[in-house]
Structure formats: structure tokens, C-alpha cells
Amino acid sequence: MIEDQPTHAIAPSATPDSKETVFALLFAISFSHMLNDTIQALLPAIYPVLKESYGLTFTQLGLITLTFQVTASLLQPLVGYITDKRPLPYSLPVGMGLTLVGLLALSKAGSYPAILVASALVGSGSAIFHPEASRIAHMAAGRRRGLAQSLFQVGGNAGSSIGPLLAAWFIVPHGQAALSWFSIIAMLGVFVLWQVGMWQARNLHRIQRKQARTAAAAQSRPTSGRVAFAMAILVMLIFSKYVYLVSLSNYYTFYLMERFHVSVQTSQYYLFLFLFAVALGTIVGGPVGDRIGRKRVIWFSILGAAPFSLWLPHAGLALTAVLTVIIGLILASAFSAILVYAQELMPGKVGMIAGLFFGMAFGIAGIGSAVLGKVADLHGINFVFHFCAFLPLLGLLTMFLPEVEGEGRSAPAKAGA
């Protein structure tokens, strides 16, 4: 249970007003993020099962992702804006509850429209969870904002990598109905997030005072075209990262089965390797950005993947596995650095920025998945991987990002755990 008393996990100094890093709260949020994204990862991981059971095309699979991602994309900035104005301590367990309902609906869905509705419910749960959980991570960060976002993100990426593995072990052998077994994960998430909500409710007045001070400081900074220009570049970088990632997370298994003739279950293991590499890489970007500057991390994490992505469509099976691991490690460091950079660019709007960027990530990935599915139907899955190989070259746009005063040069704080 998360407490703010001396005898429990969080020390009395570990409050929203403290400059120390509240690791107990960060670990709780990261763990719940892992649970949430494990459930979400089950959806694309069972695409081969759904394709065979319902005779779906790649376009229809892409539309399932689009439904899930766009639902989350449209709602997340709104949720972030509302919670910036008025904190809602128990919104996190409510969001996980919606994910639970969507998971159970997906396990019982008997038609394509029912699958779409269930996907929308899971997306709605994500829309509530991500911006508010990211805001909690920001509150618990102290001076280590990059590290806090990396810890938060690594939980989600770990869940995303575990999902395909669980699908290979339980859902592929037992079918769609086995999804209901994972309701236990969602119920555990509701319990953990209820504890986080209790901590947030006890500290509500201090949270509101801190938000008021941050908002007042932000009003003294003039709004300029420089901020809008930087945000436009960040959007393009998010586009390049997530369209490329969705080509791997959603269609990598089909690529392996078509090009190298591996089984469905074997392809899930290769997908797990890639997603696990993403989880490992995520933890690096935030703390490195705290020390050397987020712009440098953004530069490397997007453009640095280009040589390997361009090589990938020409590699054999073993080298393909190696290259996807390298790509995952490099690309994973981008999002935490981009998110914290944007939050420092627009202080006082932590929840809205988190919702906006998580929403863009979901929306771009959803639209990208639908478009790539259509391209795969028309030109084949190999063409998709040849085309997407060029997307990391958009990392060259990083050179136009302005420096944010003081970013990436904060002195490390003592742990408050």
C-alpha cells in the first residue's frame, strides 16, 4: 500500500512539493503501466488467431488497431487537460476497469463489429490511464524528470513485450476465449492504482498548490512561434518513430512467416525479442537526457536507427532478429526524451502535453497500421518493410529543435523511498 507516513514506503519528505525522487510511487506507476500494456499488447499479438478464425484481411486487422488507437488518441489530450485543471485521484483505477471490461468483451466477441467495440473499450481505458499516470510520474520525479518518465515507460514497454509471449503460450493454443484468463492482470492493476489514488487524494491540496505555482510561472513566459515550430518538429519525429514501430509490432510476425516460413508460435518469440529490446532501451533515454540534454538523445534515438532499418529488409532470419533488437534498443529511448522536452517547453501543462503526445503516438500508430495493412494487401508484406526502412531518416529534423533553457542539466536528487 502506498503511504506518505514515515513507517511506510514513501517518506514524509516525499510529497509533491519535494525535490526528491519518490521511487515507491514511480515503481507503483511503472508496475501498473506494465499490467495495462500487457493487456493492450494481447490485441495485436492475437491477430494471426483472429485472421484465421474470422477470415480477416490485413486491412481489417489494421482497422482494429485504428479503432483502438484513435479512441485513445482522441480522448487522451482531453483527459490530460481536465486533470491539469482539476486532479481526479481515482480516475486511474476507473481507466483500468474500462480496460478490464474491454478485455472480457474481446474474449467473448463473435463477430468483427464486436471485436471493434471491444477494441474501443480497451482504447478508452488507455486514454484515461496514460496522461494521468504520466502526470503522477512527473510529480514523483523531483529533479530527475527524464529518469521518472523512463521508469514509467519501461513498465509499459515491458508489458508490450510480455503480451506476445503470453499470447504464444496461452491464446494461440487455446483460442480467443483464453483472453478472459488475463482479467486477473486487470484486477491487480485496479488494486494497485487504487492505492496510488489514495496517496494522490491525501496530497491533493499540495498537488494543487504546486500546479498553481507552475501555471503562474508559465504565464510569465511569452508564447512564440518558436514553441509552435518545435512542437511541429516533435510531431514529425513521433510520426517517424511510431509508424516504423507499428510496422514491426503489428506486421513483423506476418513478415517472418511469409519471408522465412516460420510458424505462428515461432514468430511470436521473435516479436518478443524485439519488444523486450524496446523495453530495455527505454530506461536509457530518460536518465541520459537528464545529464547530456534531451535534444542529443532525440537526435540519436531516431536517426541512429536508420542504418539498421535500411539493412533489415535484406537480411537473413538470424540477422533480422539481431537487427530488430538493435533497432528496438535505439528507438526506445526517443519517447521519454521527447515528452520531457515538450513538458519543459510548455511548463504548467504536464497532463495536457502527456495526453497530447501519448494521444499522437496512439493515433499515428493506429492510422499507420491501417495504411500499412492496406499497402500489405495491395503490394505484399515485404514491400511494407522496404518502404518503412526509410522512416528513421526523418530524425534529421532534430537539428532544427531549439535548446530549452536548463534542460538535461539538472543535478541529481537523492532518492526518496
Query: Do residues 237 and 397 make contact, with C-beta atoms less than 8 angstroms apart?
Result: yes
What are all long-range contacts of 170-174, with beta carbons under 8 Å and residues at least 24 apart? 171/42, 171/45, 171/46, 171/49, 172/46, 172/48, 172/49, 172/264, 172/265, 172/268
What average pLDDT does the segment 7-26 reach?
A: 58
Side chain identity, residue 140: A
Neighbours of 64 (CB within 10 A): 26
- Give residue 252's pLDDT band: very low, low, confident or very high (50, 70, 90): very high
Distances from the Cα of 34 to the Cαs of 31, 98, 157, 192, 401, in angstroms? 5, 16, 7, 12, 31
* The predicted structure's pLDDT at residue 410: 45
Q: Which of 133, 128, 163, 131 has its CA nearest to residue 151? A: 133
Of 32-41, 238-247, 281-290, 301-310, the one with minimum mean pLDDT is 281-290
Provide the H-helix boundaries in 167-224.
172-174, 183-202, 204-219
Query: What tens digit of pLDDT does each residue of 299-310 get?
Result: 888 888 999 999
* The predicted structure's pLDDT at residue 212: 57
- Give residue 249's pLDDT band: very low, low, confident or very high (50, 70, 90): confident
Burial code (b: 16+ CB inside 10 Å, e: under 16) for 306-328 equals bebbeebbeeeeeebbebbbbbb
Handedness of CA 229, 335, 290, 274 (dihedral sign): negative
> CA–CA separation, 388 vs 248, rounded Å?
10
* The predicted structure's pLDDT at residue 415: 35
In the numeric block, the cell 514468430 is attached to 267
Side chain identity, residue 57: T
Domain boundaries of the chain, sorted by first residue: 23-400
What average pLDDT does the segment 390-417 reach?
A: 66
Side chain identity, residue 4: D
Q: Which residue has the higher pLDDT, 290 or 315?
A: 315
**What is the residue-wise DSSP string for 15-63?**
STT-SSB-HHHHHHHHHHHHHHHHHHHHHHHTHHHHHHHHT--HHHHHH
* The predicted structure's pLDDT at residue 405: 52
Q: Residue 378 burial (CB < 10 Å; 0-12/13-18/19+)?
A: exposed
* The predicted structure's pLDDT at residue 154: 79
Query: Do residues 137 and 26 make contact, with C-beta atoms less than 8 angstroms apart?
Result: yes
Element (H, E) at 65: helix 58-85
**φ and ψ of 415, to 5 deg:** -70, 135
**φ and ψ of 316, to 5 deg:** -75, 180
- Alpha carbons within 13 A on the beta-carbon side of 31: 16
> pTM for this structure?
0.66
Query: What tens digit of pLDDT does each residue of 172-218 get?
Result: 788 788 888 888 988 999 999 998 888 877 776 665 565 555 555 55
Query: What tens digit of pLDDT does each residue of 99-108 get?
Result: 999 989 988 8
User: Could you tell me how many helices (H) and strands (E) the chain has, helices first?
Assistant: 17, 0
* The predicted structure's pLDDT at residue 409: 47
Query: Do residues 393 and 78 make contact, with C-beta atoms less than 8 angstroms apart?
Result: no
Would you say domain 23-400 falls under CATH 1.20.1250.20?
yes
Neighbours of 236 (CB within 10 A): 15
- The yes-or-no verdict on residue 4 having pLDDT over 80 is no
- The yes-or-no verdict on residue 11 having pLDDT over 70 is no
- The yes-or-no verdict on residue 370 having pLDDT over 90 is no
- Of these ranges, 267-276, 321-330, 405-414, the one predicted with the greatest mean pLDDT is 321-330
> CA–CA separation, 232 vs 270, rounded Å?
34
* The predicted structure's pLDDT at residue 113: 92
What average pLDDT does the segment 133-153 reach?
A: 79
Query: What tens digit of pLDDT does each residue of 32-81 get?
Result: 989 988 888 888 778 888 888 888 888 888 888 888 877 877 787 787 77
* The predicted structure's pLDDT at residue 315: 94
C-alpha cell at 313: 529488409
Neighbours of 7 (CB within 10 A): 7
